[in-house]
Structure 1
Amino acid sequence: MRRLLLAVSSLLGLIAAPIAAATGDSAPDTEVCEGCEALLELAAANDLRKDDRARDKYRNPVETLSFMRVTPSMKVGEYAPGGGWYSRMLALYLGQQGHLTGLYFNPEVVPFDGSTLADQAAAFPKKVTEWTGIPESSVSGMTLGAIPDEEKGTYDRVLVMRMMHNVMRWNIADSEIKAMRDLLKPGGMLGIVQHRAKPDAPYSYADGGHGYLREADIIKFMEVNGFELVAKSEINANPKDSANWDEGVWTLPPTYALKEQDKAQYAAIGESDRMTLLFRKRD
């Protein structure tokens, strides 16, 4: 950890000016953060991620966060942080200058008992500190049903990683995305990684219930909800995934819904085909 901090400190001096330019309220599409990818590589290589690293070849955290233009001094919200795979990566990257917030579901709209969500949000900083050694002061947590007024309009990025299918099938996407939009600065950006259905997949399959959504549907949905598409990437694409499994995306690793049945076949395919999209908050 100490070697990482020393390397980070030296690199931060080199990239201070580009960071300042990149964190303005309405950063240009051509913004470049010199040195940021090196910092992402350092975070990804940290020994504290040794148990997470096996999935890097499918989740591509360095390339994904670089594509989403996340710089080390940003205030970043991670939606539905779950087991902390991306939380650990983000905390190690943002911990010296930036701030990470775990954004939990609004307990008033979820189709399950949300009574523990506020407690989970409150516990998020301590969990991240235990995982990474990053000070608790660099981390916070909140539910989208209890956003303090002073937090609105202060976030550079909000990241929604493989979660749009759930909010779509639960019919809470509109209210959750609206809350995330309220958090973003003018010109702030929202990044999405999502299991991708084929363009001609029937709605009965691509409604979120199987884990897959059509890319065009997500783009349209975000546009209707006050965002404009900035860029899309094939970083997390997997052409081996036919995206038509009876058991949905959970047929593939790491879930293996069919357990040992044809497991070698699904392991050879790998994790799902995923869209990677970046949107800007529209005025």
Structure 2
Amino acid sequence: MLNKLHKVHNSVKVWGLVVCCACASMAATASELPQVVDSAFRSAENKQRDQYRHPVETLSFFGIKPEMSVLEVWPARGWYTEILAPYLKDKGKLTIANFRQNDGSLEDERKIFWARLAAKLKQDIKKHPDHFGAVQVEEFDPPGLMQLQQVNQFDLVLSFRNSHIWNEEGYLLDVYRALFDMLKPGGTLGLVEHRSSRLSEISSRAGEGYLDEYYVIAVAQQAGFILADRSEINANPKDSKDYPKGVYALPPTLAMGALDKARYLAIGESDRMTLKFTKPLVP
């Protein structure tokens, strides 16, 4: 009898050890994201924007995990890339679908500028492999270049403040459909976008660069997504959304230059919707 009790006691101790190790592992995983955000690699300027972009809360809301395969669309200068890459480099995989590179054929000044941003980020990733790890770099240039030959490949697709550009050009639905195809069934699409003022159930006031939240949801649903959740993580009630140059008057762009600069700095970055969609397991 004593031997049996001794065996049970030892089993409980072993079981408790396993449970404690599992808890410690979960705690370590949960702490990885804040550690990456606080990394000395990130510049003081980029960290200053955390108060408006809330990277830990936003990525946690989207359900990111270190073992995921993640696609970031149009990362531009790579503000989020320098957080995502080190977080995913050991267990997961990061792919960025950035602007088309300039092979000499680009004529649009905006696309030429975007191409320079993409080239700079690609160089930064190559220059700092210890931080970024092995990031796969692709080109994404709607409406002609939207297929990455990666159907049902990603656990999580992320887009930060890009949808208004796709909408201005008339291919928002096409882009969302492309992203839908790239996600695994059951995968998540995380969107952050400048949010226009809602006037009623059927109308909104949208300055340059802003989109109506219900419109974005409707387009994503038309592409096949299911709205899983919405968050006010990136809301900014100070944003009146009625500036001469729209959202670009606010930081970080500050398109008005010295004119009322202190006012725009006091407002901070734009009021933003934060939307989480899922791709159905069954078509």
Normalising by structure 2, report the TM-score: 0.78
**Does residue 1:186 correspond to 2:185, yes or no?**
yes
CA change 1:193–1:181 in 2 (3 A) is: same
Unaligned 5+ residue runs, structure 2? 1-20
Aligned alpha-carbon RMSD (Å):
3.1
Structure 1 equivalent of residue 51 of structure 2:
57
The CA distance in 2 between the partners of 1:102 and 1:197, in whole Å, is 27
CA change 1:59–1:237 in 2 (3 A) is: same
Offset at residue 240 of structure 1 (A): 0.5
SS in 2 for 1:237: coil
Deviations along 1:132-176, whole A, 9 cap, x unmatched?
A: 62465x310223426454x21110001010110000001121222
Deviations along 1:244-282, whole A, 9 cap, x unmatched?
A: 212100111111111111111111111110010000013
Offset at residue 50 of structure 1 (A): 2.7
CA change 1:230–1:261 in 2 (3 A) is: same
Structure 1 equivalent of residue 30 of structure 2:
37
Offset at residue 60 of structure 1 (A): 0.6
> Following superposition of structure 1 onto structure 2, how do residues 95-244 of structure 1 map, counting pairs within 5 Å?
95-104=89-98, 112=108, 127-131=124-128, 133-134=130-131, 136=133, 138-144=134-140, 145=145, 147=147, 149=149, 151-200=150-199, 206=206, 210-244=208-242
Offset at residue 184 of structure 1 (A): 0.4
The CA distance in 2 between the partners of 1:133 and 1:281, in whole Å, is 33
CA change 1:101–1:117 in 2 (3 A) is: farther
Offset at residue 187 of structure 1 (A): 0.8
SS in 2 for 1:245: coil
Could you tell me the percent identity over the aligned residues? 38
4+ long deviations beyond 6 Å: 113-123, 201-204
SS in 1 for 2:184: strand
Normalising by structure 1, report the TM-score: 0.78
CA change 1:88–1:243 in 2 (3 A) is: same
Is the contact between residue 187 and residue 279 of structure 2 (CA under 8 Å) also seen in structure 1? yes
Deviations along 1:208-245, whole A, 9 cap, x unmatched?
A: x7110011111111001110100110100000101121
Structure 1 equivalent of residue 10 of structure 2:
none
SS in 2 for 1:153: coil
Structure 1 equivalent of residue 78 of structure 2:
84
Offset at residue 189 of structure 1 (A): 0.7
SS in 2 for 1:85: coil
Q: After alignment, is 110-119 or 171-180 more displaced?
A: 110-119
Is the contact between residue 197 and residue 204 of structure 2 (CA under 8 Å) also seen in structure 1? no
The CA distance in 1 between the partners of 2:155 and 2:51, in whole Å, is 27
Q: Identify the match of residue 280 of structure 1 among 270, 278, 281.
A: 278
